[in-house]
């Protein structure tokens, strides 16, 4: 009969990572929304927490259904995370309606959440309006003034600046006009621009006007780039980077993730958030 031998138990290695919060919708296809945000946080070795605003039924071909959560539920999720765990940075994505936007803005102030990145998610990269005019008005007046970095795409910038954007000069003018809404810094994204301006972004923080340009990656699988960029900025802010450095590092991350984009589904696949773990096929 065998005898039991006492095992030497090793104590666990206790880690205390920086923490970021995403306040956004769920993408059942896993390419955007909180799924993209949490993967991005993990890549940056930041613990990801979440407050879900809506649930979507979607895949690489499009969105079939959207169900909003009650604003009280969104507020409770934010309270639960911040009161116990605490966060060093946060980002907002799809907030869907006026009530949720107002609730999120109030909670950010009540819970004293700093280092906020606002991805306005008002208009798609193809120009389709995603939220109604009342929600946009509340976003402008209640949420945008709380942002450390605001990341509108071309069409969102046109709406916020109340102007048409077709040239680099117009992107720069728009960034300066949008800055007057109260965000500490504005990054007008050029993903929706054409020709040589595609992918060229403009940064304005009230003092420095910068043109940010990275390598262009020719891929159709770009789903979730906006979510990923804003999440990467938030992750770098949580790590203690200044806003401009955080934004530059985030752009580098998204560019590499595009280089390793995922050819999944029958439509537009997502970027490769976890590219160091991927092995090229074929």
Residue 222 annotated as catalytic: yes
Cβ(37)–Cβ(227) below 8 Å = yes
Burial class of residue 256, CB neighbours in 10 A (0-12, 13-18, 19+): middle
Residue 141 annotated as catalytic: no
Residue 54 annotated as catalytic: no
- Per the residue annotation, which of 192, 224, 269, 272 is the catalytic one? 224
Tokens of 180: 């007057």
- Per the residue annotation, which of 49, 103, 225, 247 is the catalytic one? 225
Residue 248 annotated as catalytic: no
Burial class of residue 128, CB neighbours in 10 A (0-12, 13-18, 19+): exposed
Q: C-alpha 252: how far from its chain's center?
A: 15
- Per the residue annotation, which of 49, 60, 138, 222 is the catalytic one? 222
Cβ(70)–Cβ(42) below 8 Å = no
DSSP letter (8 states) at residue 270: B
Residue 31 annotated as catalytic: no
- Per the residue annotation, which of 226, 241, 247, 251 is the catalytic one? 226
Residue in the block written with tokens 């946009």: 136
d(C-alpha 178, C-alpha 191), whole Å: 18
- In DSSP notation, 52-112 reads EEEEEEEETTEEEEEEEPPHHHHHHHHHHHHHHT--SEEEE----SHHHHHHHHHHHHHTT
CA dihedral sign of residues 141, 41, 244, 158: negative
- Per the residue annotation, which of 25, 53, 227, 241 is the catalytic one? 227
- Per the residue annotation, which of 189, 192, 241, 272 is the catalytic one? 189
- In DSSP notation, 145-168 reads GG-SEE---HHHHHHHHTS---SH
Q: Which residues contact 275 (CB under 8 A, 6 or more apart)?
A: 256, 257, 259, 260
Residue 194 annotated as catalytic: no
d(C-alpha 38, C-alpha 11), whole Å: 28
Active-site residue set: 189, 222, 224-227
């Amino acid at each position: 009969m065998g005898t039991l031998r006492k095992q030497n138990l090793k104590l666990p290695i206790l880690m205390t990572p920086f923490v970021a919060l995403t306040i956004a919708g769920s993408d059942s296809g896993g390419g955007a929304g909180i799924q993209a945000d949490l993967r991005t946080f993990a890549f940056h070795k930041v613990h990801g927490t979440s407050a879900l605003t809506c649930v979507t039924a979607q895949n690489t071909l499009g969105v079939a259904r959207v169900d909003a959560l009650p604003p009280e539920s969104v507020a409770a999720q934010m309270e639960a995370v911040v009161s116990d765990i605490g966060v060093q940075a946060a980002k907002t994505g799809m907030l869907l309606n006026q009530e949720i936007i107002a609730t999120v803005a109030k909670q950010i102030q009540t819970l004293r959440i700093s280092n906020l990145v606002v991805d306005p998610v008002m208009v798609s990269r193809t120009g389709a309006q995603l939220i109604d005019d009342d929600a946009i008005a509340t976003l402008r007046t209640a949420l945008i003034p709380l942002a450390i970095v605001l990341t509108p795409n071309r069409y969102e910038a046109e709406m916020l600046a109340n102007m048409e954007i077709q040239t680099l000069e117009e992107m720069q003018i728009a960034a300066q006009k949008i800055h007057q809404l109260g965000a500490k810094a504005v990054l007008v994204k050029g993903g929706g621009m054409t020709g040589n301006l595609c992918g060229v972004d403009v940064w304005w923080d009230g003092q420095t006007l910068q043109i940010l340009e990275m390598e262009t990656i020719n891929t159709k699988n770009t789903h979730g780039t906006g979510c990923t960029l804003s999440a990467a900025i938030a992750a770098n802010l949580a790590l203690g980077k200044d806003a401009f450095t955080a934004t530059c590092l985030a752009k580098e991350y998204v560019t590499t993730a595009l280089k390793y984009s995922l050819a999944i589904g029958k439509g537009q696949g997502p970027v490769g958030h976890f590219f160091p773990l991927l092995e090229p096929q074929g």
